[in-house]
Structure 1
Amino acid sequence: MIGAGIMGTATAQALAAAGVDVALVEADRIGSGASSTPGGFVVPHFSVGSPAAVIDRIGEVGERLVQATGASAGHLFDKVRRLGIDCDARQGGWYQPAHSARAMAGIEQVAAQWQDRGFPVSLLSAEQTAEHTGVQGYKGSWFAPSGGTIHPLTYCRGLADAAVAAGARLFEQSPVRSMTPQGGRHLLNFATGALSAERVVVCTNGLSAALVPAMTRSIIPLSVWQCATAPIPADERRHLFQNGEALSDTREHLFTYRFDRDGRLITGALDAFGVSPRRQSDNMACRLRKMLRLKHLPLMTHRWIGTSSVSAPRYPATLFSRDGVLSATACNARGIALSTVVGDALASHLLTGETPPIPLLEAGDTRTAGLQRRLRRFYPHMGPILDWIDTRRAPA
């Protein structure tokens, strides 16, 4: 296994638990990439598109991907409970409110599609949304009870600990310099030695260009700012989430919020060209106060930036090389839940030969990703404008 983020540690844990001899190799520390920097939202839904749109686009594997995605949050929390990982995991559910009448029409269709596939999601009115989320002004929302919140880095470390406890060998600060076939096996070369493996799974989300260049070229790295406030006094947040719920709305200029176990507010925003870290932090604080009707401007005590590896089609992708190396990506702003379920699916494939419910990387994805990479830091400036235009449109 190359890469000790959530996907890599989940795969290693599942394989080691099945008795496979596993070496988990990480260039830095456990979770040092995207797995340590998200906001901790556990979401059983796609970042772009609906179940029907995914199935229409990629066919039979799309149906299996929809089922895996809809079950991904519940799968994660079941895994946390089974392994006894202490990571502030709270399955309070996830809300997606609609910021416009047009967006409301869209989420009505999305909720119906999940319901048609057996998932117990519900549709809420504007009044119910305000009551449940504490946020006013939305047209309504849909609610997935299996979602929730988690501390992503402690979760990733917990998976790695479980893998090691099951017999996996962990090598941190060991970047792989090259990977070459050797007598039906694979030789992984490091600065200080080498490791021979029968099978190799690369779970670096496109960050190992020399190892899986096609996967790397298919990825759009999006820089995302996250922040956490000082703990908000209980009497000032009685109208807001109390039990590990999470919210991500339908705006292009996305609004998110959740609380951790200490009462800290956590939210995020895309990195934008020309916006300094301090200004970004101030913007997020002002937005929290306005959207959540807080008495005071929240004090930002933590601010960090991470890279979300987004695939061009916005859903997970796998790549099987000719010499038997397997690579996958799953983030797409839903990486915590999806990386877990994809990691377990990769392990199942290696153990049983079962085809993973993840589409194969397509050649066209590389061309699309190149254009998106050039525009990624300018797009956030368009978000508020696109949202305003959307509020003026009639529902489709």
Structure 2
Amino acid sequence: MTSKISDSLWFNTCQESEDTKPLTENAKADLVIIGGGYTGLSAALEAAQGGASVRVLEAESIGFGGSGRNVGLSNAGLWLPPDEINATIGLAAGERLSRILAQAPDKVFDLIARHEIACEPVRNGTLHCAHAPTGLSDLQNRFRQQTARGAPVQLLSREEAIARTGSDQVHGALFDPRAGTIQPLAYAVGLARAAQTFGAILHSKTPALDVKKAGALWTVQTPRGTVTAKKMIIAMNGYAIPIQGLKTPKVIPVHYFQSATAPLSVEQAAQILPGKEGCWDTAMVMSSWRMDQDGRLIIGGMGQLGHIGQSAHLGWLKRKLTKMYPLLAEVTLQETWFGRIAMTEEYLPKTLLLDNSALINFGYSGRGIGPGTVFGTAMAQALLGGDLSVMPRAPIAQHNIAFAGVRQAYYEAGATLTHLVKDRV
């Protein structure tokens, strides 16, 4: 199985559209952006709204990477709990990052409403579910840390979690009313369309081949043209391609796959996630599930398809679905797709400072929607306003990850072995 974006439910149900063409000229701009996902598109929208001339270069199609293969949970904060963030980057920096990203769903849903993005927005919260009784301690720890910072989260008992999910396979849950679900590819395409209405020019099928700086200007070479700009943003994240003259930041690639049912019957849908929250669990090899607006259940987990572990992953997926929702035992899983997550060692996003005129952002570690939107907006403000202090996390000059490929193999082997044995009767 390949990783074609057209395999996904999101591609087949996207109601948003934009008009992009390959670059075929030598152009000039105030800001050139490499990467057409949440980060690059949020930056383009922010910059264009502020009156800057913007060119976006996307090697494939808008949302082709992680943005178009996402689960679609728009969560507050990061996967890492706030106290662990503080231990990693310091108290002041950690608290600031957590405070800014706690408001990320507000930013996402405000953009959706303001630009009338047709991406199935449902802001009914998310449920972080205990996959076993041992998972409750993790949720209790997160609950203590979040409420200490004023977050309106609620810790649900096993009985309450079962009622909210419709499954007896959960052992409690942390409910976050700030969060919600979206159609992730449609959100990306909607951001692109909104940026275009303010004058940003987007180029699909236009990979950046070479980057050079001469004086105060950056020049990006593509197969059929160039863009010369005063400022530059690199926003390729987990789908970075080699570019001459640019050292691509190392990340640990981790894969995540999903599959969708056909629309469920009214009777079936009434018994599953009646509040339409998005869910994920506390298992080390995580899984997620949610509904879309047409009543499909989308369920997934860590692992790479098109790989030796594919049969293990897909076999587990069907067992997982049947165990969680026995009434769906005979339901066929239709579209199946997977994508790549860019992880850092600390599970925190990073911004590399090439100089005061260029930034590279990466490493959302599975939380691309809110943080990607926030970091993209902030990068445009920082570069065009000449004030790097607006960044949610201070940019750094150097970054490296030792043995990134080995770590990728470790994560995939763990997911494959887990799925070989998990959820068997």
Instruction: Tell me if both proteins adopt one fold, taking TM over 0.5 as the criterion.
Output: yes
Match of 1:139 in 2: 171
Alpha-carbon shift at residue 359 of structure 1 (Å): 5.0
Cα-to-partner distance string for 1:318-344 (whole Å, 9 max, x where unaligned)? 100147320001431111222111111
Which among 224, 229, 252 is matched to residue 197 of structure 1? 229
1:114 matched to 2:146: yes
Alpha-carbon shift at residue 355 of structure 1 (Å): 3.4
Q: Higher mean Cα deviation, 19-28 or 264-273?
A: 264-273
Identity of aligned residues (%): 27
Which among 193, 198, 218 is matched to residue 186 of structure 1? 218
Match of 2:21 in 1: none
CA contact (8 A) 2:353 2:360 kept: yes
Match of 1:92 in 2: 124
Q: What code does the residue aligned with 1:55 have? A: N
Q: Secondary structure at the match of 1:200?
A: strand
Which among 355, 364, 377 is matched to residue 344 of structure 1? 377
Match of 1:173 in 2: 205
Pair 159,169 (structure 1): closer, same or farther in 2 beyond 3 Å: same
CA contact (8 A) 1:221 1:310 kept: yes
Which among 257, 269, 276 is matched to residue 310 of structure 2? 276
TM, length-normalised to structure 1? 0.90
1:75-90 correspondence to structure 2 within 5 Å: 75-90=107-122
Q: For 2:384 and 2:216, how far apart are their aligned partners in 1?
A: 18
Q: Secondary structure at the match of 2:34?
A: coil
Q: For 2:310 and 2:416, how far apart are their aligned partners in 1?
A: 13
Q: Secondary structure at the match of 1:100?
A: coil
Match of 2:253 in 1: 221
* TM-align CA RMSD: 2.3
Pair 53,28 (structure 1): closer, same or farther in 2 beyond 3 Å: same
Q: What code does the residue aligned with 1:356 have? A: M
Q: For 2:76 and 2:422, how far apart are their aligned partners in 1?
A: 24
Match of 2:26 in 1: none
Cα-to-partner distance string for 1:81-104 (whole Å, 9 max, x where unaligned)? 111101111111111112334421
Which among 85, 101, 125 is matched to residue 54 of structure 1? 85
Q: Higher mean Cα deviation, 323-332 or 175-184?
A: 323-332
CA contact (8 A) 1:285 1:297 kept: no
Q: Secondary structure at the match of 2:101?
A: helix
Q: What code does the residue aligned with 1:287 have? A: K
Match of 2:9 in 1: none
Cα-to-partner distance string for 1:200-248 (whole Å, 9 max, x where unaligned)? 000001513336865432x112222211111111202322213431010
- Give the unaligned 5+ runs of structure 2: 1-32
CA contact (8 A) 2:69 2:337 kept: yes
Pair 362,125 (structure 1): closer, same or farther in 2 beyond 3 Å: farther
Match of 1:157 in 2: 189
Match of 1:69 in 2: 101
Q: For 1:104 and 1:211, how far apart are their aligned partners in 2?
A: 48
CA contact (8 A) 1:4 1:26 kept: yes
Q: Higher mean Cα deviation, 153-162 or 369-378?
A: 369-378
Cα-to-partner distance string for 1:47-72 (whole Å, 9 max, x where unaligned)? 3x311110121012211111122221
- Give the unaligned 5+ runs of structure 1: 389-396
1:312 matched to 2:372: no
Match of 2:296 in 1: 264
Q: What code does the residue aligned with 2:131 have? A: H
Pair 75,330 (structure 1): closer, same or farther in 2 beyond 3 Å: farther
Q: For 1:169 and 1:342, how far apart are their aligned partners in 2?
A: 20
TM, length-normalised to structure 2? 0.84
Q: For 1:372 and 1:149, how far apart are their aligned partners in 2?
A: 30
Counting matched residue pairs gives 385
Pair 360,385 (structure 1): closer, same or farther in 2 beyond 3 Å: farther
CA contact (8 A) 2:291 2:298 kept: yes
Q: For 1:168 and 1:123, how far apart are their aligned partners in 2?
A: 44
Match of 1:325 in 2: 358
Cα-to-partner distance string for 1:342-366 (whole Å, 9 max, x where unaligned)? 1112122224313311254586741
Q: Secondary structure at the match of 2:212?
A: strand
Alpha-carbon shift at residue 373 of structure 1 (Å): 2.5
Pair 71,110 (structure 1): closer, same or farther in 2 beyond 3 Å: same
Match of 1:334 in 2: 367
Q: Secondary structure at the match of 1:86?
A: coil
